[in-house]
Chain A
Amino acid sequence: EDQVTQSPEALRLQEGESSSLNCSYTVSGLRGLFWYRQDPGKGPEFLFTLYSAGEEKEKERLKATLTKKESFLHITAPKPEDSATYLCAVQEGWTTDSWGKLQFGAGTQVVVTP
């Protein structure tokens, strides 16, 4: 059973065309929700951690928000260098079974054209 679902799978944007990516989750007792950016052929790079509903984090053109069931990554006036795959991951409350492992979504591939 999928615990983390990202949509859409792929997104093609014109430069300057703002949009949002969705990450919905079904885990109980969320400890943290993480957003990563991954460029082709490279490892994921950390962007944000969100811990509680209502929390927001911003970095340049990216803004992440969190509700009790989902998170959004808003891309405002994107540029071609924002092209990447964006991954979200959730961490459940700590147990000796989970060891704080992250559950990753499949990612959203974003392409921004000039």
Chain B
Amino acid sequence: DVKVTQSSRYLVKRTGEKVFLECVQDMDHENMFWYRQDPGLGLRLIYFSYDVKMKEKGDIPEGYSVSREKKERFSLILESASTNQTSMYLCASSLVGGGYTFGSGTRLTVV
């Protein structure tokens, strides 16, 4: 069964901490995506990557960065966590031009 695995289901971090969210896919997909999902705001794209070491900003990249050193792994980095980054974070992957497979999500709380 194909999978997108997010390293943590729940995280609690303090304001100002550097936070790493990890995502791994086993489908040899070219594209990988990071979204956040908040009540009433739907899915909002933070960053995506269409190839190793390549990245493109999404709709809300401020306060975030990403890293894709290997095809199967896409990391989201919160440089200095703030309370307004408390959210559900979803990773997805896809073939070029294909639909997405999502991970189970990471619920991040910044206190």
The answer on a CB contact under 8 Å between A87 and B43 is yes
- Residues on B close to A: CB < 8 A? 4, 31, 33, 42-43, 45, 48, 50, 56, 88, 90, 92, 94, 96-105, 107
Total inter-chain residue pairs, C-beta < 8 Å: 50
Distance from B106 Cβ to chain A, minimum over Cβ atoms (Å): 10
Complex: chain A residue closest to B103, CB-CB: A43
With most chain A CB atoms within 10 A of its CB, the pick from B42, B43, B104 is B43
- Of chain A, the residue at the smallest CB distance from B96 is A100
* Other contacts beyond A100-B31, A101-B33, A101-B45: 11, CB < 8 A: A31-B97, A32-B99, A36-B102, A41-B88, A41-B107, A42-B104, A43-B90, A91-B99, A94-B97, A99-B48, A99-B96
> With A and B bound together, what is the CA distance between A42 and B4 in angstroms?
12
B97 to chain A, nearest CB (A): 4
Interface size class of A (residues with CB under 8 A): 20 to 34
A106–B44 alpha-carbon span in the complex (Å): 10
Binds B, one of A16-24, A44-52, A56-64, A75-83: A44-52
Assuming A34-B99, A91-B97, is B56 touching A42 (CB within 8 A)? no
User: Interface of chain B, helix or strand or loop or mixed?
Assistant: strand
Instruction: Give 29 A-B contacts (CB < 8 Å), ordered by A residue.
Output: A31-B97, A32-B99, A34-B100, A36-B102, A41-B88, A41-B105, A41-B107, A43-B90, A43-B92, A43-B102, A44-B90, A44-B102, A46-B100, A49-B99, A89-B100, A91-B99, A99-B48, A99-B56, A100-B31, A100-B97, A100-B98, A101-B33, A101-B45, A101-B48, A102-B99, A102-B100, A105-B42, A106-B42, A107-B42
Complex partner residue of A43 from B56, B99, B104, CB under 8 angstroms: B104
Contacts of B101 in A (CB 8 A): 46
